Amino acid sequence: MSLPNSKREARRRGASPASANGRSTRLSDMIAAWTLAGPALFLLIVLFFLPVLAVFVIALTDWQFGASTLSFVGLANFEEVFADRGFRASLFNTLAYVAIVVPGTIVLGLAVALLIESGKSFRAFYRAIHFLPYMATLTAMAIAWEALLHPTIGLVNQTLAGLGLPTANWLRDESTVLPVLAAIGIWQNLGFAMVLFLAGLKSIPQDLYHAAEVDGADLWLDRLRTVTLPMLGPVFMFVLIVVALKAFETFDTVQVLTQGGPGHASEMLLFTLYRESFQYLRTGYGASVAVVFLIIVVALTLIQARVMDKKVHYQ
């Protein structure tokens, strides 16, 4: 997606004078244009811009859903949020989860892409299988994972026991629950990373490999290091940010499998946002969590836009 590029393009086109049209035709053109764009603009304002403003306003009040009065309390909600051990655990867990899921997804996605691309047979077959979890209903798959991870009858513990390895109550143990959720996150997203890496690999000119061979890069590993990985740079950054965004937005597995537990061990930002806003009806607090979440997401997206912008320059 080349957002910044198209923004620039729009600016350029907008700057050009609208040629020799008469004033009345321009007015009727404008009415026609706004008749087409108006409904979308109205809905964008009502469903996106007013709500996002409302979140910021609510975050500065002590309002509780259903209450008829409210007063402004400044940044008190944010102070409460950051002083709250539950929230700090949630933020820390989310960062830890992202720190496992992002490298795991990238390394495995790249490895699978390289394996698929290194031969010609069954490419579409392998690609389809690895991509499947990305589009599967995560709620349904979470239920399947729960069965796999069941402490007594689950396939995972049976296999481990059969191999003489230690077993665990994966989703009820504070030390395993977050890594297990992260493993499910990697399982879900690696196919997405794989697809993007495959596209990136296809766009590397073959000449570069020939040149590398002439220069003595005879081993596959040398060519990987000198040609493949450097040429994948832009794709790499894109995958990194998109997967990080996906990981920050994890909700379904937490909601279905752990409810943030045991204790706060698997509580993550969106689950905290949901529980505070809609179960505890701590509206101001929930809105503050939403603001923190929004800032993280927007920061990541802006980094992505900058990176893609740079990429556009040298293409």
Partner 1 sequence: MMTRTFPAPTAIFRHAALLVTAALILAPFVWMVSLSIKPPGEIFRASFSFWPEQFYGIENYTKAITKVPVLRYMLNGVIVCASILALQIAVCAPAAYALAKLEFAGRDLFFALVLIALLLPQEVLALPLFILGYKIGILNSYAALIFPYVVSPFGIFLFRQFFKTIPDDVVHAARLDGYSELGIVWKIMIPMALPAIVAFGIFSVVSHWNSLFWPLIAVQDQNLMPAPLGLMSFRSEEAGSDYGPLMAAATLVLAPLIMVFMVAQKWMVEGLAAGAVK
- The least CB distance from residue 109 to partner 1, in Å, is 11
Residue 59 burial by CB count (10 A; 0-12/13-18/19+): exposed, middle or buried?
buried
Cis peptide before 17 (omega within 30 of 0): no
Cα separation, 131 vs 188, in Å, equals 8
Take residue 174 and report the two structure tokens written for it: 């504070």
Closer Cβ to partner 1, 89 or 277, answer by number: 277
The single-letter code of the amino acid at 100 is: I
Residue 265 Cβ, how far from partner 1 at the closest point, in Å? Answer: 20
Of the pair 64, 176, the CB lying nearest partner 1 is at 64
The pair of structure tokens assigned to 32 is 């026609």
Least Cβ distance, residue 127 to partner 1 (angstroms):
6
Residue 216 Cα distances to 8, 206, 219, 256, angstroms? 43, 16, 9, 54
**For residue 234, what are its two tokens?**
């832009």
Using the minimum distance from each CB to partner 1, give the nearer residue, 87 or 293.
293
CB of 88 to partner 1, least distance (A): 20
- Rg of the chain, C-alpha, whole Å: 25
Q: How far is the CB of 168 from partner 1 (least distance, A)?
A: 16
Which residue lies nearer to partner 1 by CB, 29 or 79?
29
Read off the DSSP letter of residue 240: H
Angle between helices 85-117 and 233-248 (to 10 degrees): 140
Question: What is the closest distance, in whole angstroms, from the C-beta atom of residue 43 to partner 1 in the complex?
Answer: 4
CA pair distance 160, 297, nearest whole angstrom: 38
**Angstrom distance (rounded) from CA 153 to CA 168:** 12
**Cβ(308)–Cβ(2) below 8 Å:** yes
Least separation in angstroms between residue 230's CB and partner 1 is 14
72 three-class SS: strand
